[in-house]
Structure 1
């Protein structure tokens, strides 16, 4: 009887031991995971704290020169404000010393008439204006030439109302004659001998209205191809005599003609 009881007790103890061992083996991994998570969280917290501290230090190091620049700029601005106030005070003092009724009387500019003994002085080069085309052109003044000359090409003769007329184009390869077409009555025909040749050349003479500054008159021009000349228009003695004097040391003495000059 007693022996049976001992066997039962021994069996019970064995069951309890087996259960405790099984429970111990099941709870061991859970505890290890908890410890690992705790260690990881602690490491992450330490790393994040170190990152924050490092970031704060870098930001402070970067902001330090900016703060210094701002401080210097503020000091410079204060100095400029003080200087401006001093200048303003000096200006106010000067204005207070200057009588308010005083005004500067500047002399009126005088207009120098380009004349001598009633004759208009012209330079070696001048601007001339032709009303027939409403344009200004450069002209060379030459007292050695008898008649004035105009650069013309594509000259065509025709008859109008029983009179001889001519149609031509203002052309010059290096200056400002751009091919404007003009029609004019032929006043006469002349023969011109070039200084570089013994041959004479027949040229038509036309009369055109011309302005040189405020000087206005009808002038005669021979029509010739002046492409090899520096200037498309030459003013000769017939235009210059009795009304002009030439100052070869000057050019463009007279401004371009304006229609308002004669109003």
Structure 2
């Protein structure tokens, strides 16, 4: 059986979230994080016709890719995630497609406030184990 060739990426890469109409967004590659996180300006749940519906507004109004569009999902969950400051917080999790270095995957993405972070997207080990090598001396290889 032939080994699958790994794709070389840098510590920051450009990613797409096609289902979320988000193309060409900078993402920090973080092997210390388990999952992928996406910055949302607003996140809320409301009951509509007896079903819980998740609403979220991606990025901040001052981000060049901000669209003011409110996305919704009825297929979501919640999970406790350890944040960068070491505290556990409950986050909403959605399944969506992400494209990284020419490969597209269906993956879990946690929605969180990353306003104080440099990059609106964080890519963790769960996605990186699909065959990526990281060269931390490089930024945006692909």
Q: Is TM (by shorter chain) over 0.5? A: yes
Q: Which of 120, 144, 151 matches 2:7?
A: 120
More helix by share: 1
| Contact residue 174 and residue 227 of structure 1 kept, 8 A | no
| Contact residue 22 and residue 65 of structure 2 kept, 8 A | no
Q: CA 1:196–1:213 in 2, change beyond 3 Å: closer, same or farther?
A: closer
DSSP-derived class of the 1:238 partner:
helix
- Measured after TM superposition, the shift of residue 191 of structure 1 is 1.1
Moved more, 174-183 or 227-236: 174-183
TM-score when normalising by structure 1: 0.47
> Match of 2:26?
138
| Contact residue 54 and residue 76 of structure 2 kept, 8 A | no
| Contact residue 78 and residue 93 of structure 2 kept, 8 A | yes
TM-score when normalising by structure 2: 0.82
More strand by share: 2
Alpha-carbon separation, structure 2, partners of 1:156 and 1:129: 23
> Match of 1:183?
72
Q: CA 1:168–1:147 in 2, change beyond 3 Å: closer, same or farther?
A: same
Pairs aligned (count): 138
Segments of 5+ residues of structure 1 without an aligned counterpart are 1-115, 255-263
> Match of 2:38?
150
What is the alpha-carbon root mean square deviation over aligned residues? Answer: 2.5
Alpha-carbon separation, structure 2, partners of 1:147 and 1:163: 27
